Structure 1
Amino acid sequence: MLGRAGPYTDSEYVPGPEVYDFVSSMKIFGAGGLGCEILKDLALSGFTDIHVIDMDTIDISNLNRQFLFRQSDVGKAKAIVAAEFVMARVKGVTITPYFGKIQDKDEQYYSQFGIVICGLDNVEARRWINATLVNMVDGNNPDSLKPLIDGGTEGFKGQSRVILPTLTSCYECSLDMLGTQQTFPICTIANTPRLPEHCIEWALVLEWPKLFPDKKLDNDNPDHIQWLYEKALTRATHFKIDGVTYSLTQGVAKNIIPAIASTNAIIAASCCSEALKLASTCNPFLSNYMMYSGNDSVYTYTFEHQQKEDCPVCGNLASDYYADPAMTLEQFIDKLAVTQTVRIKAPSLRTADNLLYLRAPPQLEESTRPNLTKSLRELVSNGQELSITDPGLPFSVKLRILF
C-alpha cells in the first residue's frame, strides 16, 4: 500500500521506503475491548512500537471472539497475554503492555505517542482520554496535538471516528448521540418482577446494599457476579420467571451489550486503516465519523460531526439548561446523571459566588449538605452559570440555568 500512490493520494505524496520507515518508527497507543483486533491489525500494518493498556483479566466468555487468548490464559491480564501472543507471531514488533486503567497515566505518558486508538467499552473512560488529549494541546507546539481514533461496537452496530483535539468535534461534542441506559421502576423490581432483568436488578440495587452496606459491589469480581446470579435465580424461581443466566447477570451488572466478533473485526480494521492513513498520508483520513450496521445487511454511512461551541471540553461557551425552579438541588443532581449532554454521576456544583454542593473534602460536604433540600430558585438565579465537576473527569461542565 505504501509503495505506490493510490487514486485518492495527495499529489505531493512520495511512496517508498521512507514512508514505511516513518510508520514503523511511530510510537502508537491502544486501549480497550477491541484490543485483540487492533493489536493484530497494527502489527500487520507495519507499526512496530505499540503500547497497550487494559484493566481486565481474561474470562472464559472472552474466548469465542478474542482470538489471542486460550483457555489456559483465563484469569491472566489481557494486555500482557495479548502483547506476548502478537510479538511471538509478528517478528520485529515490540508491544509494551500495562495492566491497569488509562487514568493511571498522566499527560507526560500520553505525550510520547504519535496516535492514540481507543476501543474502550465505557463512556467514562472515553470522556477521560478525550478531555486529557484536548487539554494537552499547546498552540505553540504542533507535536502536542495527538490524533484520537475512537471505535466502539454494540452488537451488530459500530462506529469509528477520527478526532483532532481542538480542531474537530471531540467525543464530548457527540455525547447526546448516545442511547439512554435502560432503567426499571423500583416498585416493579421490589414487588412485581416480570422479567429476568427485574430479578437481577433486585439483587443488584436492593439486596446487595442491604446485606453489604459498607461494601461496594465490584462488577469485575466473579464472586460478586456469582452472588448476584444465585440471588436473582432464587427470586426468579419464586416468581416463576425463566431466563436468568450468569451471562445475563454479568450483562446487567456491567451494562454489557453482547459483542459480535465480525463487528469488532470491521470496526477495528477501520480504526487501524485510519491510523495508517494518518501516519503515512497515503490517503485522506476520515472526516470524521463512520457508522456501521450489520443487523440486516452491511450498511455504512460517513458524515462530518460538527464541533460545538458549548462543548465543555473543546468549546468555550456554557450550555443552556432548562430546569424547574421548584426542584430541589438533590433532584437536580439526580437528573444530571441521566441528562444526555451531561451524564455526571458524582457532581460538585458551584456558581461564581457560592458553593452549592461539594462532595469533598468531608468538612465542605457537611457544610454544603443542607443545600440539597433547597429549591433551585433559592440557590440559583435565572440565567446564572453553574460549574460542575466530577472526580472521574478532568474537566468541568458549565451550564446556564434557565427557568
Structure 2
Amino acid sequence: MAVSEPSRSRDLDKLLLRPGHIIGPNFEPGPELREAIKESVKVLVVGAGGLGCELLKDLALTGFPNLDVIDMDRIEVTNLNRQFLFRLEDVGKPKAEVAAKRVMERVNGVNITPHFCRIEDKPLDFYSDFNIIVLGLDSIEARSYINGVACGFLGLTSLPGFCHSISETPRTAAHCIEYAHLIKWDEVHSGKSFDPDNPEDMQWVYSEAVKRAELFGIPGVTYSLTQGVVKNIIPAIASTNAIISAACALETLKIVSDCSKTLSNYLTYNGVEGLHTKVTEFVRDKDCLVCGPGVLIELEKSVTLKKFIDQLEDHPKLLLTRVSVSHRGKNLYMQAPPVLEEMTRSNLDLPLFDLMGGISKDIVHVNGVAAKVTRSNLV
C-alpha cells in the first residue's frame, strides 16, 4: 500500500485548524482561516540581506503567498557567507530582485514583488497597502524611519532600538567612539563634514577613539566596532538570522490569525546562553515624538529650510543634532550619505513653505523618524 506524501501545510494546519488553550480572543479555526490568509494578507519585508533572505523563505513556507520586498543594495561577494539565496553569479545584481526570484523558484504558489530602491523613495501610501511590515534591517536610522511610518498608520508600533550615549567619563567602547565621532571631529576639522564612507575619515575616528579608551582604561575599541557605532549598523551572523527570522514569521502568523497569543513583549537571543523572554506591558508616552501628538512649530512663509533646521537643533524638547528632513517621501535635506547631502544642499536657502508645495500644515520626517513636527499658521 502506497503511503501518501504529507501535505506541505500539515504543521501549519495544526495551528490553524484546531482549537487550543492559548489562542487569541478572535481565533476561529478552520480551512477558511487558512484561505483568508492566502487571499487577503499582504506582507512587506524591508531588507533582503541576511535577515531578509531568511524572512522571505520563512514567510513563504508559513503560508503567506503575497509578499513584497524592498532593498536598495546590490549583492557583494562578502554577502555570500550568510545570505543563502545568493550565488557567485549574482554579484552586482539587486538583492531584492534575486531574493524574490529564488524563493519563488522553490516555493510554489508564492508571488513576491521586489522593489530595488531606498525605503524613503516610496510614498507613504505605498506602506499603507500592507497588513504587516516585517523588518530585516541592520540600520537603526532605517528601522526608526519605518517605525515612524507605521506609527502614522497604526498608532503604535514597537521595533528594536539601540542607543549609544556620549559621556564625559566614558564607560564603554561605544562612548569613546561617539566622542571621537561627534565631538572630537568637529573640534579638529572645523567646517568639514564627516564622511562615513571615506576610509580615511573612519580611520581617524577609530584612532581617536583608541586614544580616549586608553586614557580611561576601556578595552574593546576596534575598527569594526567603530564602523558599526558610527554607521548605526547592527551586526548579524547566519545562525542568528535564522533564529530571529523564525520568531518573526511565527509572530506574523499569530498576529494575522490569532491562533496563539503574541509575545509580551520581547524576545532576546543570547547565543550560547539561549533565549530570554519577558512580560512587559508597554505604556504609551504622551510626549513621544513618534506616536504622540508631536511638536507644534509656527513659522512664517519666508523661513528657509536652514532656519527651520536651526530651530529644531535649538529646540529644548527635541534635542536633535545633524538634522535631516523629508516631506511626503521627498528628501528636503539629508546629512548623509555625502552624495545625498550634496544633492539636497541647495534646498537649505529655499523657503520651507515652497518646498512643502504650499501646504500650510503638515508633517515632516526628521532624522529618519516620523516625528510629526507640525507647522501651522504659515502666514
TM-score range (shorter-chain normalised) is: 0.5 to 0.7
1:170 matched residue in structure 2: 157
Separation in structure 1 between the aligned mates of residue 294 and residue 230 of structure 2, nearest angstrom: 36
- What are structure 1's unaligned runs of at least 5 residues? 137-164, 186-193, 320-328, 349-358, 366-386, 399-403
Residue 309 of structure 1: CA displacement?
Answer: 1.3
1:315-394 maps to which residues of 2 (within 5 A)?
315-316=292-293, 333=313, 345-346=322-323, 361-362=348-349, 390=366, 392-394=368-370
The yes-or-no answer on 1:99 pairing with 2:116 is yes
In the alignment, is the contact (CA less than 8 A) between 1:8 and 1:283 conserved in 2? yes
The yes-or-no answer on 1:181 pairing with 2:181 is no
Distance change (3 Å), C-alpha of 1:330 and 1:73: same
- What are structure 2's unaligned runs of at least 5 residues? 1-11, 215-219, 297-308, 326-344, 353-362, 375-379
Residue 281 of structure 1: CA displacement?
Answer: 2.2
Separation in structure 2 between the aligned mates of residue 362 and residue 61 of structure 1, nearest angstrom: 41
In the alignment, is the contact (CA less than 8 A) between 1:3 and 1:16 conserved in 2? yes
2:67 matched residue in structure 1: 50
**TM-align CA RMSD:** 4.7
1:181-260 maps to which residues of 2 (within 5 A)?
181=164, 217=195, 219=196, 224=198, 250-251=227-228, 254-260=231-237
2:133 matched residue in structure 1: 116
2:372 matched residue in structure 1: 396
2:45 matched residue in structure 1: 30
Offset from partner CA, 1:76-126 (integer Å, 9 cap, x none): 221111111111111111111111111111132123222111232223223
Distance change (3 Å), C-alpha of 1:73 and 1:231: farther
Separation in structure 1 between the aligned mates of residue 165 and residue 371 of structure 2, nearest angstrom: 27
Residue 12 of structure 1: CA displacement?
Answer: 6.1
Offset from partner CA, 1:184-210 (integer Å, 9 cap, x none): 99xxxxxxxx99x97xx68xx869x97
1:156 matched residue in structure 2: none
2:342 matched residue in structure 1: none
Residue 52 of structure 1: CA displacement?
Answer: 0.5
Counterpart of 2:93, as a letter, is: K
Percentage of matched positions with identical amino acids: 39
How does the TM-score come out when normalised to structure 2? 0.62
Moved more, 36-45 or 294-303: 294-303
2:105 matched residue in structure 1: 88
Residue 61 of structure 1: CA displacement?
Answer: 3.0
SS at match of 1:303: coil
Separation in structure 1 between the aligned mates of residue 69 and residue 236 of structure 2, nearest angstrom: 20
Counterpart of 1:390, as a letter, is: V
The yes-or-no answer on 1:308 pairing with 2:291 is no
1:273 matched residue in structure 2: 250
The number of aligned residues is 304
1:294 matched residue in structure 2: 270
Counterpart of 1:267, as a letter, is: I
Separation in structure 1 between the aligned mates of residue 145 and residue 25 of structure 2, nearest angstrom: 38
2:8 matched residue in structure 1: none
Distance change (3 Å), C-alpha of 1:117 and 1:252: closer
2:89 matched residue in structure 1: 72
How does the TM-score come out when normalised to structure 1? 0.59
SS at match of 2:279: strand
Offset from partner CA, 1:41-63 (integer Å, 9 cap, x none): 10000111100111222233322
Counterpart of 1:29, as a letter, is: L
SS at match of 1:395: strand
Counterpart of 2:33, as a letter, is: V
Separation in structure 1 between the aligned mates of residue 18 and residue 164 of structure 2, nearest angstrom: 47
SS at match of 2:36: helix
In the alignment, is the contact (CA less than 8 A) between 2:139 and 2:234 conserved in 1? no
Counterpart of 1:333, as a letter, is: E
Distance change (3 Å), C-alpha of 1:111 and 1:182: closer
Distance change (3 Å), C-alpha of 1:233 and 1:312: closer
Separation in structure 2 between the aligned mates of residue 110 and residue 36 of structure 1, nearest angstrom: 20
In the alignment, is the contact (CA less than 8 A) between 2:72 and 2:117 conserved in 1? yes
1:380 matched residue in structure 2: none
Separation in structure 1 between the aligned mates of residue 127 and residue 312 of structure 2, nearest angstrom: 36
Separation in structure 2 between the aligned mates of residue 84 and residue 133 of structure 1, nearest angstrom: 27
